[in-house]
Amino acid sequence: MKQLTRNDLYSLEKYSAIKADFRSKVIDHKKNRRVPIGDHATLYFEDALTMQYQVQEMLRLERIFEAEGIQDELDVYNPLIPNGSNWKATFMVEYEDVDERKKALSLLVGIENHVWVRVGNFEKVFAIANEDLDRSEPDKTSAVHFVRFELTVGMVAAVKNGATITIGIDHPAYQQEIVVPKIKHDSLVRDLS
């Protein structure tokens, strides 16, 4: 999957005119890229469209229109676009109740390193987490992590040929797994070259 360039972006004026339609398109797209793992953890798989939306919103909110500022935003978000042999996702630990969330985050230290994907009968591939900065402390983890799953050539071929994708978490305080439904599977296949 190609990285975004300035040519892929709308000017602030153009984006303002199409923002509602573009946002609707992205929300619809994201539905097939959200994979809940149990009741309190979710992977939001990223791609060029989800990252374009993030960049466009940052440019709009910060009123960035100069080339250097635009490139800075691209440099932040391009690393979250899969490169054809991996999946990249935002991993979120989700508890609505603030007190319950605080307690859970203290029990789930290191959870980001226990998230995995498995293609068909291949071995589990554990997430490479938070390459930009560490988001866990000794006594708690963050509710948001950025993860990458590196696949072998055989795994990529198997997914493209319809092999199941199973996603799970093997943390002592949180153990879940799910087989990715077909519509979401098909969306993830498009990330692979």
pLDDT digits (tens, 9 = 90+) for 105-160: 999 999 999 999 999 999 999 999 987 766 677 789 999 999 999 999 999 999 99
Please name the residue ranges forming H helices in 78-190.
Answer: 98-107, 153-160, 182-189
In the chain, how many domains are there? 2
- Collapse the DSSP code of 49 into the 3-class scheme (helix H, G, I; strand E, B; otherwise coil) and give the result: helix
Residues 140 and 185 in one domain: yes
The two structure tokens encoding residue 55 = 């960049």
pLDDT digits (tens, 9 = 90+) for 67-115: 999 999 999 999 999 999 999 999 999 999 999 999 999 999 999 999 9
Q: Are 159 and 192 in contact (CB under 8 A)?
A: yes
Rounded Cα gap, residues 37 and 43, in angstroms: 8
What local confidence, expressed as pLDDT, does residue 11 receive?
A: 94
Based on the domain organization, do 73 and 115 belong to the same domain? no
pLDDT value at position 2? 85
The reported pTM is: 0.91
**6-43 residue pLDDT tens:** 999 999 999 999 999 999 999 999 999 999 999 999 99
- Domain holding 53, by residue range, is 6-31+48-80
**66 Cβ partners below 8 Å, 6+ apart?**
none
Q: Are residues 182 and 122 in the same domain?
A: yes
Q: 60 and 123 share a domain?
A: no
Q: Which residue's entry shows tokens 């991993």?
A: 91
